[in-house]
Amino acid sequence: MAQGPSLRAGVGADGDLLSAEGDWTAAHAADLDRLAHAAPPHVRKLTISLEGVGRLDTFGVWALERLRRSVVEAGAQAQLAIPQDARADLFAGVDKALARPSGQTGRRDRWGTLLHRLGRSAEAFAVDFAAFLDLTGRLTFCFAQGLRHPARLRLRSAVHHLDRTGLRAVPIIALMCFLIGCILAQQGFFHFQRFGATDYVVDLVTILVLREIGVLLVTIMVAGRSGSAYTAEIGSMKMREEIDALRTMGLDPVEYLILPRILALIVAAPLLTIIGNGAALYGAGVVAWIYGDMSPAVYIERLHEAASHIDLEVGLIKAPVMAFVIGAVAALEGMKVQGSAESLGLGATASVVRSIFFVIVLDGIFAVLFAAMGM
């Protein structure tokens, strides 16, 4: 018969007696928890008898041991009549767990003070920056060697990644840039109408798209699409010791895994930027025609006047540099992944957030540089 656990108080031959009865098993966890703290007050000498116990498992043993210990801690004597059969092993295991020094019950303090955290993040930043420089050096070295021995450039792998990060990104990037071009033009016509300056909408759209919006949209999309994928791939290879396997074969993971991916990104980013620019200007033209009453012929003529090759160059020069940073950040975050699924997720998030941040920072630096150069 299944029957919940209970304690019956009585008087034994030698002091007080508690008889445990019923099933002391996990199914009655709440009762066990209550009984574990149900030590009778004012006892001097207590014996806990197990004769009436039906089924007994680790949870039951825990409750009995806790009960005994609470009596002992109150300064009285207590003993447990441990059955001399296989069940004694359960008592031994629980005894070991309960006998641990009390200082070690708490979890390690993972967070520490604010100052501690500030110092840690500064240190982490320095370590990350050093790792970035280190990777840049390795990549340059591998690339230089690859120029002398083209087989070591792993072009087949690079082309595979070019297909994934470049060709397959074309539809989404074209669509996104087309929409942004439409929106820019619509906003331009709407607001410039008040000043009668709709003639300048084309100048606005052209310069914005060619210099800034096109390349930014493309690189942000690439960071979200390909950077996160690179981090996840390299991170899971790290978790499964595949990278260690490469190393023990005497092969360099930078040459095999990272350089082809980054080369693919560096080639893909300017090409995608050109496609994105075209799509955005096309979208702007469609809006100019439908919404701004500007015929396509006029739009194209204005475009010719507004756009210079310098604007295009400004955008295209930025693309490969940003692509390099995205690829390098993705690879570094991937290599930092430890054993857990959580750290893989953190790595992928950090990869996207950091590379987008660096893309924007770089864009600012380029803006200053180009202004100084008069471009």
Partner 1 sequence: MEADEVITVSDLHVTLAGHEVVRGLSFQVRRGEIVGLVGASGSGKTVLLRTMLGLLPKTSGTVEIMGVRLEQATPAESRRIGGRCGMMFQQGALFSSLTLRENVEFPMREYLDGSDAMYGDVALAKLAMVGLSVEDADKLPSEISGGMTKRVAIARALALDPDILFLDEPTSGLDPIAAGEIDRLIRTLQRVLNLTVFMVTHDLNSLKSVCTRILALYDGRIIAQGPMQDILAFDHPWLRAYFRGERGRAAQLA
The contact set with partner 1 (CB under 8 A) reads 25-26, 29-30, 32-33, 36, 55-59, 61-63, 66, 85-87, 89-90, 93-94, 96-98, 100, 104-105, 107-108, 338-342
CA distance 238 to 5: 50
Nearest-approach distance from CB 56 to partner 1, in angstroms: 7
Please identify, using beta-carbon distances, which residue of 62 and 178 lies nearer to partner 1.
Answer: 62
Please identify, using beta-carbon distances, which residue of 57 and 252 lies nearer to partner 1.
Answer: 57
Nearest-approach distance from CB 235 to partner 1, in angstroms: 12
Give the residue carrying structure tokens 């493309």: 218
Please identify, using beta-carbon distances, which residue of 234 and 284 lies nearer to partner 1.
Answer: 234
Please identify, using beta-carbon distances, which residue of 208 and 348 lies nearer to partner 1.
Answer: 348
Nearest-approach distance from CB 239 to partner 1, in angstroms: 8
Please identify, using beta-carbon distances, which residue of 38 and 362 lies nearer to partner 1.
Answer: 38
Please identify, using beta-carbon distances, which residue of 72 and 362 lies nearer to partner 1.
Answer: 72
Nearest-approach distance from CB 347 to partner 1, in angstroms: 13
Nearest-approach distance from CB 337 to partner 1, in angstroms: 10
Please identify, using beta-carbon distances, which residue of 60 and 260 lies nearer to partner 1.
Answer: 60
Nearest-approach distance from CB 231 to partner 1, in angstroms: 17
CA distance 150 to 143: 9
Nearest-approach distance from CB 23 to partner 1, in angstroms: 11
Nearest-approach distance from CB 336 to partner 1, in angstroms: 13
CB 290 within 8 A of CB 189: no
CA distance 311 to 210: 6
Task: Report which of 356, 139, 351 is spatially closest to residue 261, judged by C-alpha positions.
Answer: 139
Nearest-approach distance from CB 34 to partner 1, in angstroms: 9
Please identify, using beta-carbon distances, which residue of 35 and 279 lies nearer to partner 1.
Answer: 35
Please identify, using beta-carbon distances, which residue of 57 and 203 lies nearer to partner 1.
Answer: 57
CA distance 19 to 5: 11
CA distances from residue 130 to 231, 256, 353 in whole angstroms, order as listed: 19, 22, 19
